[in-house]
Structure 1
Amino acid sequence: MAQKKTMAGEKRARKIQEESQGKGVHRKPVKLHKVDTRDHDDSVFLSRKVIAQLSFIAVLVGIAAFSVYDVHRQSRVITRLSSPTVITQNASSSPARFWGTYRPQAYFGLKTRSPQSPVVGLMWFTQFKSAEEFAIRHWCEQGDRLPRYGWLAHDGVNFGVQEIVDEDYILKTSFVKRTGGSHGGDWTARIVAEPHYRNRRTPEGEPPPKPATVSLLFYIALDNSGWLKPNIESGILTSVEGYTDALGQFMLKFPTNSRNHEVLYNYYLSSTEGLHVLKGAVMRGLKMAPYKKRKQYVALGGNDPRGSAEPNFIVHQVTVPLPHVMEVTYTSGDGGGGSGEREDREPLLGRTYDDELRQHRDEFDERFERVFRLREKGYDAEHVDFAKAALGNLVGGIGFFYGSSLVQSLANAAPVPYWAAPLYTAVPSRSFFPRGFLWDEGFHNLLVSQWDIDVTKDVLGHWLDLMNADGWIPREQILGPEARSKVPDEFVVQRDTNANPPTLFLPLRYLLDRDDERDYEYLRRVYPRLQAWYGWFNVTQRGDAPGAYRWRGRNATTTHELNPKTLTSGIDDAPRASHPTDDERHVDLRCWMALASGVMADVAEAIGEPAAVYRAEYAYLTDNEALDALHWSDEHAAYCDYGLHTDAVKLKRPRAPPAQPGAPPPPRPDLQRSVAQEPRLQFVNSFGYTSLFPFLLQIVRPDSPKLERVLASVRNESLLWTRYGLRSLAKTAPLYMKRNTEHDPPYWRGSIWININFLAVRALNFYANSDGPYRDTAKEMYTELRRNLVENVFREYQLTGYVWEHYNDETGKGEGSHPFTGWSALIVLIMADSY
């Protein structure tokens, strides 16, 4: 019965899909009566004239109708879903989370959750360097090669403490907020700069190196809204008054000590073209100024040399030999007269700041142990501090972005801007991926939801509100000029045929499982959008075979890729069928849709909506016999993709054309794909993460003999098992650690990824606690895999200072972008046995 319903649903989906692609319904042509051409009377002439006029009118009407329809199709991609948004305006400007470290791409910066927020931030550089060595730090850049940076603790709301290790010194940045009023309250930022030798041993008998002289630059900038007024006393910038519609009046103060002659103060006033060019504006304002003992130092020159009207960018420079402490206070105008001064509490400076920061840290530590119970589980202080840093970096990496994506549909000849919208989201990597990614966010919120469920509901609501009228969500969000400036052009445009794994259903499952704290009102708000999203997947990502699914977005005409990537699956270069066609069947997508169907059924039942369709689809997609019919290969003893495939492919360099007399030699041609054997429809023999999805999402029955084969393959060290975690592709696979193009090294072809390993540990825990003949095997594997993952990620953090994007399957060494405390922070849940 379920299969019949599924086939009927597939026919309906295909009909909708064909209509959306402009394929009309073919009708039998209408027979016209033959006209006797021998009659030449006026009536025949008039009839011909009327017919010609009617035909002409019909053509015009048809052209007009097609034009209207074409305009409709072109605008559809940028039309909002008609359902009410999840996030209301009041919720978006929640006072407790209004101010925050919502600029994850900056080493240290704060902003508000308003569309055109003022931003504050830190830049710094070392004085007395050569021109070749001189460098201003501002945005998190892997090219800066800092030994370590990241949040040590951050609760997502009230405070954060970060440590940045530079070549000769350490910067400890922190902030504390005081909520109150109607504009998000007040805050203080503190930067403590200490010589690095205080934190390392000096060879016996040698004096410590001379402390560095550092310039700390704290700035405020406006994003096309409001005004700033600098207050300058005796040539020193002491404060900045300002106003925006979202904040009202406010004041930023720079406490100074003019009696300390070791400290030099400079400032800069400029009018810049945008937040993405602030560092360039600072570079433009630098000059050489006299320093003691006939030296010169690099200083800001006061006013922008180009001249400016009202400044929208103001910088306070402090130059000092280390150690030094800088404090900056922000006060809103709620307390009186727009001056920002408050009389009811001590200023958040000095010892008062120490006391409030200590209180927040103590509360953070107590809450961390209450939620994750790591000390109770026997972890030592170093492991617990590591876990706090992993959580702190994920929560401290939540940003607030505002802008519009560039999108394109099949009906649009060129990309068009999406509507401008806000997005509150964590980012995978502050240095390399400081923007929102759809499938990453589901994994992020598996951890965030256990720390602060309200933050998760807020984040998921923002993502679901980006849904268009068809139920599509752009999978990569590049909102605003700061985010856009960090992304290569080829990744900017998002296409509405392309999906991403619906991982938001993972934290939604956690929301549903909180029976004692289930938020039914929230579930009612998200449900219409979940319906539209689920429907979009079933219309656009269905395969040709009944019950099959296929990722769109693969390049079927490429001549340079060894195996055309499937970026939409999230597992970018995991091997699929070598020749993309409509016949493909992707096992991971079918399993994601099984998860989505189950959550949809449970949400519907929780809020009293009809759930039978979702329940039937879930029953079919989790039916092991139906799954096996499409994806189990007896030959390979594994779940596999299916498609037009051959393993006989490799990259070859074609011959360069002969050099012409007198001309420079031609460039060496890029490697091109060579196919030595014709492909055929078959299962794809590339055992790896994609093969595991029926196990990872717990679809294989605990008593299924297929589970025994999967567990044996997982534990096989020549396939996926290593001392550091599960590698992404078996060592026996034809494309194991093979480059995909000359310029495209392997990515998901052997490396160890923490998000998939989290799903594996979670699945092993499930099977270890389920009745079945393989529970003891699953339990042993669970204990060993969990230990391997925790110790390797911890060890690499101790050695390198970072949590990494992925890990080498032969050495365990961290690789890829860093810090990567997006889904790699799931190591905290693995440590906590919390799934």
Structure 2
Amino acid sequence: MSKPELRRRQRGALNPLKKENDDKDANWPYAHGRMDPYAKAIGISVLVITTSLICYFRYQQHLRDLVISPLDSPFIINENNSLPSVNPDRFWGTYRPHTYFGMKTRSKTSPVFGLMWMTQLTNRMPPPLRHWCNQGDELEGYVWKMHDGRSFGSQEIQEKSYTVETDFVKRPGGQHGGDWSARIKFVPKNPKVPVVVSSFFYAALEENNGKLEPMLTKGKLNSIQGSHEDLGDFELLFPSSDASPAESQRDSYLVTHARQLDQLTDVLTGGLKVEAWDRARTMPFFNLAGRKVPRDVPGPNFVVKQVTAQLPFTMEVVFQSDSVSDRSAPLMGDVFTSELAARTENFNEKFESTFELKKKGYKEREIAFAKAALGNMVGGIGYFYGSSLVQSKYNKEPVNYWQAPLYSAVPSRPFFPRGFLWDEGFHNLLISLWDAEISKDIIGHWMDLMNVEGWIPREQILGVEARAKVPAEFVVQRNTNANPPTFFLPLKSLIKSMIQSSTPADKAYLSALYPRLKTWFNYYNDSQAGKLPFTYRWHGRDPTLVKQLNPLTLTSGLDDYPRASHPTDDERHIDLRCWMALASGVMADIARTLGKESREYEATHRLLSDNKLLDELHWSSKGLQYSDYGLHTDKAKLEKPKPPVNLHPGQRPPQMDTDKVRVVQVEPTSGYVNALGYVSLFPFLLKIVDADSPKLNQILSDIKNPQRLWTDFGLRSLSRSSKFYGRFNTEHDPPYWRGAVWINMNYLALSALHHYSSVSGPYQSEAKSVYDSLRSNIVSNMLREFYRTGYIWENYNDKTGEGKGSHPFTGWSALVVLMMAEKY
């Protein structure tokens, strides 16, 4: 609430002492201007107190509302941006990255379509049902081999005994984004070993939103007719499946109701019944039960087509919009094959013109890996709608952010199928080079989530399906907690291209973007400022967590990387300072190109890039490295709590938590935290260190030292000499950023080495030598692991190079494509 509005409401507040009396009762002290002086004094006092209380409570409500108040600035993404009439080529997509294959629109209440399958005639009762991406399924790999982000994609999913291939193609037309078709192939790996598989393809609506009507012929589901406010009327066709032998095929269906979209798997499982596959009735298989619509619902909103057959077999599904009036032929059979071939050829041509990997001498096998990395990044873009659960220090309980859409790539389809603020900046380094319009759309959606304080919730968990994948303790987002402003990385080049193009659309985009970036920058500059001038610290560290060896710094993105062991307000964090140096430089560039006032950003950038001031605040002469500063001790360990002593004879010891707790062996002191690793490299990673600085020589020496950061697979996150290297942070939490090789940080390292090898300085040739070796190590190891395991991984073991963590992780690990292309 603005101050003028607050004052206006105060003036309009009711005065409880005033009494309207038409007959002017003389006994009333206000009548005829007569009033006892004491009564008058009491009245004034009550009035002041009442007005003060009203002001106080209104102001408190104002403070509580700040966290859920949108920034008062024009949105970058117009409300109609997602309509098929505005963006028809991006209206439909594989915007359900948490599923192995799923389609939906960029409508807030979109119908959803998707694939499930199960292997029949096994010893498991019932057999496992594949639907949502799950590492527990133990698939041998799944990846979009190609995906252009707009019109088509080809995916390969590896079961142990067969391969599932999913291809989709979109075709424009009509008023609702056109038609699309999907072809699903099940191919046995050993044709001599019979395998029976059930494929389930479904259509589902949010409760009471639209209509689905199954079309049956002789008990067989041939199509689904539907309607939706954003799609009009449509039809989902099921052409004849291609099974061999044909007599092995069995068809069934389910028509039912699901109260929430995250319950589809359970509802389908509940709709299965056991039938006999063979005449001797010795081999049971699971078949859908037909119509099972509860009486207390208005009608079905979940319809499934099941095809069960011995492999190989192919299933096609065809979505047709009734608004397409000039359809020459359905997108199926030979027409689909021809369209898929044309899109594949276009993708290959664009891929080579963008990244030039053939020109660089890469082999087809290596290029296929790069296409898969890009394909899974772009194929992992989702469209979400809902509200975050947020909290400020003024709110006793979490409150709902405003309802909003988010168009965003995700880090990992099985483990992190939602938007992450700092990941998305890295994602768009790759996406912006592939398709700048998609990248601008993504960045605009994120920037429109900014509140009046300039804060953006760092983890976006929007909608019931996204919420179902997140542990409760990670759902609430707090406005004191920032995240690295990595969007300044892709914006640096995107802004320049938009200024050069100078189209009306780009001018409008920049006009809406700039005030939001200003507010975002100010949020970091104010809320994350340290006690000393030109210092910064990450908020969100909890000094009371005695079970953690080193309190986490989740907001930095480098969760368990060792910081000061005892968090205080006096900390200063070198990585955040460097992020602010980058941000101020980009803000100055944007302001100058837009003709805005840039001097303040230029001055900030000069100060934060000044190596003398940087060294005074963050260079450790003892550790010979850039470091955080804070209250710290390396002398700590995790121990089981000791049982109480001095118990009376026969007295039972009280129940106690037996988890290990931190025991400090040497009391902490204020000083530099000399944990050599990614954090200490930040002045180098973001190219702040002067090219002629002796500090650069020291950094290069640490980088290429195998006892410190160098490995044959990339730079490890923490030096082997650190006391925290490879150590658990709690009894149950293995090391995360304490030695593993992370691809996003290695991309920044290669970008920095490429920079220092191209600018004049005494260490130019050394930077070039390190660059060539490091790039070769990273790319060759990721290639080897991809073809060994079927996956691109979250991080890599610094001793063996083996993939670790969630998989597939084709968020920032897909930056390997830019490493191969040498695009920085």
TM-score when scaled to structure 1? 0.91
Contact 1:656–1:666 (8 Å) recurs in 2: no
Determine helix, strand or coil for the equivalent of 1:551.
coil
CA distance in 2, matches of 1:820, 1:600: 31
- 1:769 is aligned with what amino acid? S
Distance in structure 2 (CA, Å) of the matches to 1:725 and 1:257: 48
The equivalent of 2:711 in structure 1 is 722
1:88 paired to 2:78? yes
SS, match of residue 89 in structure 1: coil
One-letter amino acid matched to 2:518: Q
Q: Match of 2:238, as an amino acid?
A: F
Equivalent in the alignment of 2:493 = 510
**Post-superposition offset of 1:714:** 1.2
Q: What root-mean-square deviation, in Å, do the aligned CA atoms of Structure 1 and Structure 2 show?
A: 1.8
Per the alignment, in what secondary structure is the counterpart of residue 91 of structure 1? coil
> What is the rounded CA distance, in whole Å, between the counterparts of 2:568 and 2:655 in structure 1?
36
For residues 43-85 of structure 1, the C-alpha deviation after alignment (integer angstroms, 9 at most, x for no partner) is xx95444333322222221111110001101111101111010
Residue in 2 that maps onto 1:27: none
* Residue 287 of structure 1, CA deviation: 0.4
d(CA) in 2 for partners of 1:766, 1:258: 55
Q: Counterpart of 1:92 in 2: which secondary structure?
A: coil
Which of 537, 544, 549 in structure 2 is aligned with 1:562?
Answer: 549
Deviation of 1:494 (Å)? 0.2
The residue identity in structure 2 corresponding to 1:236 is K
1:647 aligned residue (634, 656, 661): 634
Shift of 1:288: 1.1
In structure 1, the residue matched to 2:248 is: 262
Q: Which residue of 1 aligns with 2:284?
A: 296
What is aligned with 1:21? none
Q: CA deviation at 1:656?
A: 3.9
Larger displacement relative to structure 2 (569-578 or 252-261): 252-261
5 Å matches for 1:604-615? 604-615=591-602
Specify whether residues 70 and 120 from structure 1 end up closer, same or farther in structure 2 by C-alpha distance, changes over 3 A only.
same
Cα drift, residue 303 of structure 1 = 1.7
Q: Tell me the residue number matched to 2:426.
A: 443
- Structure 1 stretch displaced more, 511-520 or 584-593: 511-520
Provide the C-alpha distance between the structure 2 equivalents of 1:180 and 1:611, rounded to a whole number of angstroms: 46
The equivalent residue for 1:163 is 156
Deviation at 1:667, TM superposition (A): 6.6
Q: Which moved more, 1:635-644 or 1:664-673?
A: 664-673
1:365 is aligned to: 348
| CA positional deviation for 1:629 | 1.1
Query: Letter of the aligned partner of 1:799 in structure 2?
Result: R
Deviations for 1:204-226, whole angstroms, at most 9, x for unmatched residues?
A: xxxx32x2111000000012311
Q: Counterpart of 2:719 in 1: which secondary structure?
A: coil
| SS of the residue 1:445 aligns to | helix
Partner Cα distance (2:741, 2:145) in 1: 25
- Name the residue aligned to 2:333: 350
* CA 663–187 in structure 1, closer or farther in 2 if over 3 Å, else same: farther
Change (3 A) 1:212 1:258: closer
| Secondary structure in 2 matching 1:459 | helix
State the AA in 1 paired with 2:608: L
Is residue 684 of structure 2 the alignment partner of residue 691 of structure 1? no
- Mean Cα displacement is larger for which, 224-233 or 274-283? 224-233
In the other structure, the counterpart of 2:217 is: 233
Q: What residue in structure 2 maps to residue 415 of structure 1?
A: 398
Task: Tell me which residue corresponds to 1:65.
Answer: 55
Q: How does 1:768-783 map to 2 (within 5 A)?
A: 768-783=757-772
- Structure 1 residue 438, shift from structure 2 partner: 0.2
Matches within 5 A, 1:465-476: 465-476=448-459
Q: Quick one: distance in 1 between partners of 2:639 and 2:348?
A: 56
- SS of the residue corresponding to residue 726 of structure 1 reads coil
Q: Which residue of structure 1 aligns with residue 658 of structure 2?
A: 669
CA separation of 1:711/1:675 partners in 2, compared to 1, >3 Å: closer, same or farther?
A: same
2:514 is paired with a residue whose SS is helix
Q: CA deviation at 1:737?
A: 0.8
Q: Hey, what does 1:243 align to over in structure 2?
A: 227
Deviations along 1:586-621, whole A, 9 cap, x unmatched?
A: 000000001110111111111111111111111111
Task: Determine the C-alpha separation between the residues in 1 that align with 2:255 and 2:43.
Answer: 70
1:283 matched to 2:273? The reply is no
Aligned residues: 776
Contact map agreement 1:578 1:646 (CA 8 A) in 2: yes
Q: Distance in 2 between matches of 1:49 and 1:632?
A: 69
Distance 2:393 2:803 in 1: 40
Secondary structure at 1:190 match in 2: strand
Aligned equivalent of 2:475: 492
The 8 Å contact of residues 168 and 183 in structure 2, kept in 1 or not, is answered as: yes
Q: State which of 575, 579, 584 in structure 2 corresponds to 1:588.
A: 575
Question: Is the contact between residue 644 and residue 653 of structure 2 (CA under 8 Å) also seen in structure 1?
Answer: no
- 1:734 is aligned, of 723, 736, 744, to 723
SS at match of 2:81: helix
**Partner in structure 2 of residue 529 of structure 1:** 516
Instruction: Give the aligned residue type for 2:544.
Output: T
Q: Quick check: 2:257–2:300 contact (8 Å CA) kept in 1?
A: yes
Residues 6-62 of structure 1: per-residue CA shift (max 9 Å, x gap): xxxxxxxxxx9xxxxxxxxxxxxxxxxxxxxxxxxxxxx954443333222222211
Alignment pair present for 1:804 and 2:793: yes
Pairwise mapping of residues 177-196 of structure 1 onto structure 2 (< 5 A)? 177-196=170-189
Q: 1:114: which partner in 2?
A: 107
1:699-721 Cα distance to aligned partner (Å, 9 max, x none): 00101111111111111111111
- Letter of the structure 2 residue corresponding to residue 110 of structure 1: M
Q: Which runs of 5+ in 1 are unaligned?
A: 1-15, 17-44, 199-207, 337-341
- Residues in 1 aligned to 2:390 and 2:781: alpha-carbon distance in whole angstroms: 40
| Deviation of 1:678 (Å) | 1.4
The one-letter code of the counterpart of 2:255 is L
Q: Is the 8 A contact 2:625 2:699 kept in 1?
A: yes
CA–CA distance in structure 1, aligned partners of residues 107 and 313 of structure 2 = 33
* Equivalent residue runs for 1:380-399 within 5 Å: 380-399=363-382
The alpha-carbon deviation at position 664 of structure 1 amounts to: 11
Distance 2:694 2:545 in 1: 40
Distance in 1 (alpha carbons) for counterparts of 2:135 and 2:652: 40
Listed one character per residue, the Cα deviations across residues 146-182 of structure 1 (whole Å, up to 9, x for unaligned) are: 0111110000001000001112211000100001222
Query: C-alpha distance in 2, partners of 1:258/1:675?
Result: 68
- One-letter amino acid matched to 1:805: E
What is residue 501 of structure 1 aligned with on the other side?
Answer: 484
1:139 paired to 2:127: no
Contact conserved, 2:242 with 2:315, CA < 8 A, in 1?
A: no
Instruction: Check the 8 A contact 1:656/1:668 in 2, yes or no.
Output: no
CA distance in 1, matches of 2:708, 2:636: 21
**Other structure's SS at 2:247 match:** coil
Residue 538 (structure 1) aligned with residue 522 (structure 2) = no
Whether the aligned pair in 2 keeps the contact of 1:240 and 1:252 (CA below 8 Å) is yes
The question of whether the paired residues in 1 share the 8 Å contact of 2:104 and 2:112 is answered with yes
Using the TM superposition, give the Cα deviation of residue 545 of structure 1 relative to its aligned residue in structure 2, in angstroms: 0.5
Instruction: State how far apart, in whole Å, the 2-side matches of 1:544 and 1:115 are.
Output: 44
Q: CA deviation at 1:558?
A: 1.3
> Distance between the aligned counterparts of 1:766 and 1:133, measured in 2?
57
Aligned AA (1:705): P
The letter for the 1-side match of 2:214 is P
Q: Read off the aligned partner of 2:71 and give its amino acid letter.
A: L
1: CA distance, partners of 2:290 / 2:126: 24
1:821 to 785, 810, 813: 810
1:34 counterpart residue number: none
- In 2, the alpha carbon distance for the partners of 1:348 and 1:72 equals 55
Whether the 8 Å CA contact 1:520–1:607 is kept in 2: the answer is: no
CA distance in 1, matches of 2:276, 2:332: 32
Give distance in 1, aligned partners of 2:149 and 2:706.
40
TM-score calculated relative to the size of structure 2: 0.92
Conservation of the 8 A alpha-carbon contact between 1:424 and 1:459: yes
2:257 to 263, 271, 275: 271
C-alpha distance in 1 between matches for 2:569 and 2:656: 37
Report the Cα distance in structure 2 between the residues aligned to 1:710 and 1:520, rounded to whole angstroms. 41
Alignment partners' CA distance in 2, 1:759 and 1:335: 47
